[in-house]
Structure formats: structure tokens, C-alpha cells
Chain A
Amino acid sequence: MSYTAPSDPVNKKPVKVAQLCDLCHCRKAVLKRPKNLQKLCKECFFDVFETEIHNTIVDNKLFHRGEKIAVGASGGKDSTVLAHMMKFLNDKYDYGIQIYLLSIDEGIVGYRDDSLATVQRNQKQYGLPLEIFSFKDLYGWTMDEIVSVAGIRNSCTYCGVLRRQSLDRGAQKLGIQHVVTGHNADDMAETVLMNILRGDVARLEKSTSILTSSKGSPIKRSKPFKYCYQKEIVLYAHYRKLDYFSTECTYAPEAFRGTARELMKNLEVVRPSCIIDIIHSGENLFLKPAAGGRRQGRRRGPGTTSANTTSTTTSTGPVDGSRCERCNYLSRNRICKACMLLEDLDKNRAAVTIETDTSHDGAAKTLRSLERLAF
């Protein structure tokens, strides 16, 4: 599968004064920014959009000179724009960072293999080093195998839990301590909404932070697109003719997330600023019990605290956080979620292996124990 750029419309009509860009007043405006309803031409939009992200990075001191960062690259629109933007801003403003593309191969035939081909093209287009880690290598399971055992309804739970860990593991193997992801304003507002709907107080407060680093985890995560509308990211990719992959995941229609997303999109039609408003509300929401105890990072009973604690300034290394007893990965419980899910899977696989492939079972076990040694 190769990339075909969207066509360049050539229908040039005389431009009326009312159609001119609000900033340069000389070119035809092509979009209305959802944030502030400003009408901009392509060139001014590029400039404003890139500068806003640069300002977000500088204001929040996301990077320091000499830092190695891994861009979580799926080949989708957000991560493709992110990879392009990181490279572009690093060259333009000289952050002095080293950028790597880090991809996770979940093992979903007909979806991930195609999107990884996109990442591989991006690697060449941007000249960035690419590393791919697969679920199969890390956990001994592909998503297709997991779905065949656990059923399609749980697919996103498994995928989400395992993917989150695998990005960290991949980064650690590369000696990188900072993973940058393409989460945008829509994603963040949606998360805020979902946490409100679920009443998940512990997550609500930290869900809007741009940089998270948990005590005990050497890997920080940041979201430079926190304030970027999905719509603007897609338009940016469209106008810049970036090569991105866009197909719905084979297993996605069963996910819960869709409902909050639909709500958001309908809200956006009525009032485009609502996305940024929800993020703003989320940022300014401080829970009462946390007000006094935030410094110490203790706001709930023992055993549930460590993973909730976020400190945006320092990552203290593996000293304080509680870890999974099996894989040594950061976890608020004794056994981390991934290990619990895998344990359930292994039980079920024992029952179904007669019909299916058994040869990789031993190898997978060895791999996983090696994985533990590496930690």
C-alpha cells in the first residue's frame, strides 16, 4: 500500500474581501479555528499552529537539551503529525533533542501491519530512527490470539493495558526516559468527561496534566498536543500532505470510548470552544482532601497511592513506587494489571492449545522470564 496525497484543488475564483485571512489580510481564509473562530489562510494556520505547540513545549519545559525522546508512533494522524512536528520544531528552534520513533506491533492482521508500513514510510520521510516492539515479543501473545481466547468484547481492555506498558518497556530498552504521545485536546476532554461519568475521582485530577511521571517509573510521558483540536491536527496533516494511516481498528467498534466521543463531537458542533473549556475545567479542579496532602503525594489509604502520585518536576527513579511482584513494572497493586490479564489468558490457553499452535508456548515463557531479568 502506498500513499496518495489528496488532490490539489485548482478552482481559483476571485476572492472577496470578507473571505480574507484575519491575520495577513491578503490570502483567502481556508478554515475557521474552533478555538476562537478566527479565519485563517493556510500559511498563517501553519505558523499559528506550529507556534502554539512550540509555546506549549517551552512554557511547560517539556524537553531539555540532549534529551532522548521517543515518539509513540502508530502511523495514525495524531502520531504522524507529532513526529513531523517534533522534527520540524527541533530543527527550527534547536531544542537539541534526539527523536526516535517507537512503535508497538499489537499483532492485529489487516490493521496494525498496514499502519506499521505507514510508520516505516514516515521513518524515511522524516529521517528518524524507528524501533518496533511487538506484543508477541514482550508478552508472548498477539492481539489476534488474545481475542481468539478472551473474545472481542474485551479486546480494548487488553490492548490498552498492554500497550501502555509496552511503550514504557520499549523506551527503556532503548535507554530513553521520555515518551511523547499524540493525545490531543479532544482525547483529553473526552477523558475528563469519562472520568466524571464514571466518578473516577482519583484519575480526574491528574488526567489533564501535560507531563506525567510517576514515582518509581523512570519513564516520563508528555502530550505536546494537549491544546490542539483534533480537527486542526487533521487539517494540518491534510494541508501539509502528511502520509498517515486511517482505518478503524478491526476490534474497535466494540469499545466503550465511542459514547463519550460522540457526545463531545455533538457538543463541538453547538459550541466549538467546549473542548478547550472542558480541559480548562479539568485543570482547575482540585479535590479538597488533596489540597493539604499533595506534596507528600498521599491522599488515599496505603496501597493505592503510589501510582496516583504525579510530580511534574522530577522523576526520582525506582525508589519509592510500589512494583508488580512478577514483572517489576510500576503498579499500584501487588500484581500489575498486565500480569493479571496474562495469567487469565494463560489459564484459558491451556484449555484451547490442543487445537491451536503450541510450539511458541515455551518460547514465550522464556521470553517473559528474560523480560523480567532485564528489569
Chain B
Amino acid sequence: MANVTVEFLGGLDVVVQKQRVHKLHLPAEVVSVGDLIEYIASTLIKNPRDVAVFLEDGGVRPGIITLINDTDWELEGQTEYVLEDNDVVSFTSTLHGG
């Protein structure tokens, strides 16, 4: 039952109605970041075709940087990380031109 902020940066906001910041009140079954990613794919992304922009083989697509409270999720246990109240999870795409 955590309240978390999810940000879609680097152009990734296109898959979530062009809204960069989403404040979510998560249902009880969403515990880890892995759950959160599934939750995003099933509820936040309205167009099923856009899921492929965010996920690949069930995981976050290579080239998208995931940060948990501004720390690379590689250092936080990736999908295993257990969400707490007021956590900020951000997804930043690096895939388009610079």
C-alpha cells in the first residue's frame, strides 16, 4: 500500500499520455519494483502497442535507465527492491537521438 512517484523521462512519457510524473497509490499486491513494472504495463500504458517501447521479454527494455530514489537500480537489487512510501522510481530512455 505504498505511495510512490513514478517518472517517465527522456521522451518515455509518450507511452503514458505524455505525463512525465505519475503519483501512484499502489494496491497491496504491488510490493517490489518488478510488480510495479507489471502494474505500469497493465494500467498506466493505455495503448497495448506502446508496451513494447517500455518492456522487452518481460523486463525493462535495454537502453532505458531505471533509477530508484536517484540511484541506479543495479545497486538496489533491480526488480527485487521492495517499495516504500514516498519512493521515487524514474525511467529514462536513452534510445533516441542526441
Chain A, residue nearest B86 (CB): A11
* Cα–Cα, bound, A55→B82 (Å): 40
Segment at the interface with A among B4-12, B34-42, B43-51: B4-12
| Contact across chains for A19 and B75 when beta carbons are under 8 A apart | yes
- Cα distance, A248 to B75, chains bound together (Å): 29
Complex Cα distance A28/B69, Å?
11
Residues of A within 8 A of B14 (CB): 247-248
Q: When the two chains form their complex, are residues B9 and A6 in contact, meaning their CB atoms are under 8 A apart?
A: yes
Taking a contact as CB atoms under 8 Å apart, the answer to whether A4 and B20 are in contact is: yes
Chain B residues positioned under 8 Å from A10 (CB to CB): 86
Assuming A230-B94, A246-B96, A247-B96, is B7 touching A30 (CB within 8 A)? no
- Distance A261 CA – B62 CA, assembled complex (angstroms): 10
| Contact flag A261-B86 (CB < 8 Å), given A28-B71, A32-B75 | no
User: Are the CB atoms of A247 and B11 closer together than 8 Å?
Assistant: yes
Which residue of B has the minimal Cβ distance to A266? B62
**Residues of chain A with a CB closer than 8 A to B62's CB:** 262, 265-266, 268-269
Closest CB in chain A relative to B73 CB, distance in Å: 10
Q: Per-residue 0/1 for A210-233: is the Cβ within 8 Å of any B Cβ (1 yes, 0 no)?
A: 000000000000000000001101
| Selected contact of A77 from candidates B10, B72, B84, B88, CB within 8 Å | B10
Distance between Cα atoms of A39 and B74 in the complex (Å): 10
Chain A residue contacts of B69, Cβ below 8 A: 9, 11
In whole angstroms, what is the CA distance A235 to B87 when docked? 19
On chain B, the residues within 8 Å of A4 by CB distance are: 20
Chain B min CB distance to A31 (Å): 4
Complex alpha-carbon distance, A235 and B10, angstroms: 11
| Contact with B71, one of A30, A74, A76, A233 (Cβ below 8 angstroms) | A30
* A9→B97 CA distance, assembly (Å): 27
- B27: CB under 8 A from chain A? no
Q: List 24 A-B contacts (CB under 8 A).
A: A4-B20, A7-B21, A9-B88, A10-B86, A11-B86, A11-B87, A11-B88, A30-B75, A31-B75, A76-B97, A79-B98, A187-B98, A230-B94, A234-B65, A235-B65, A238-B9, A246-B11, A246-B93, A247-B11, A248-B14, A248-B96, A262-B62, A265-B62, A266-B62
Q: Is A158 part of the contact surface with B, judged by Cβ < 8 Å?
A: no
Task: Tell me the nearest residue of chain B to A248, going by C-beta.
Answer: B96
Question: Which chain B residues (50-96) contact chain A, with CB distance < 8 Å?
Answer: 62-63, 65, 67, 69-72, 74-75, 84, 86-88, 90, 92-96
A184 contacts partner chain B, Cβ-Cβ < 8 Å = yes
Residues of A near B98 (CB, < 8 A) are 74, 76-79, 182, 184, 187, 230, 233
* Known contacts A9-B87, A11-B84, A11-B88; is-contact A29 B75 (Cβ 8 Å): yes
Q: Is the CB of B92 within 8 A of A32?
A: no
Q: A286 to B41: give the CA distance in the assembly, Å.
A: 48
B97 partner, pick from A39, A231, A252, beta carbons under 8 A: A252
A29: chain B residues within 8 A (beta carbon): 71, 75
Q: Is A239 an interface residue (CB 8 A)?
A: yes
B 21-36 binary contact with A (CB < 8 Å = 1; else 0): 1000000000000000
Q: Which of B9, B72, B86 is the one whose CB lies under 8 Å from A246?
A: B9
Expressed in whole angstroms, the Cα–Cα distance for A19 and B74 within the complex equals: 11
Q: Give Cα distance in the complex from A230 to B96, angstroms.
A: 11
Q: Distance in Å from the Cβ of B95 to the closest Cβ of chain A?
A: 7
Q: What would 14 more interface pairs be, CB under 8 Å, given A31-B71, A77-B10?
A: A4-B20, A11-B84, A19-B75, A30-B71, A32-B74, A42-B70, A74-B97, A187-B98, A234-B65, A238-B9, A239-B70, A246-B93, A252-B97, A269-B62
Q: Tell me which residues across on chain A come within 8 A of B88, comparing CB atoms.
A: 7, 9, 11
A291: interface (CB < 8 Å):
no
Which of chain B's residues have a CB closer than 8 A to the CB of A247?
Answer: 11, 14, 96
Leading 5 A-B pairs by shortest Cβ distance:
A78-B98, A246-B11, A9-B69, A265-B62, A9-B88
Residue of A13, A184, A246, A249 with most partner-chain B CB within 10 A:
A246
Q: Are B97 and A6 in contact (CB under 8 A)?
A: no
Query: Which residues of chain A are within 8 angstroms of B5 by Cβ–Cβ distance?
Result: 7
Residue of A nearest to B88 (CB): A9
Q: Report how far A19 CA is from B77 CA in the complex, Å.
A: 12
Q: CA separation between A59 and B63, bound complex, in Å? A: 30
Of A30, A74, A77, the residue contacting B70 (CB under 8 A) is A30
Known contacts: A29-B71, A238-B92. The answer to whether A248 contacts B11 by CB under 8 A is yes
Please give the distance in Å from A294's CB to the nearest CB on chain B. 32
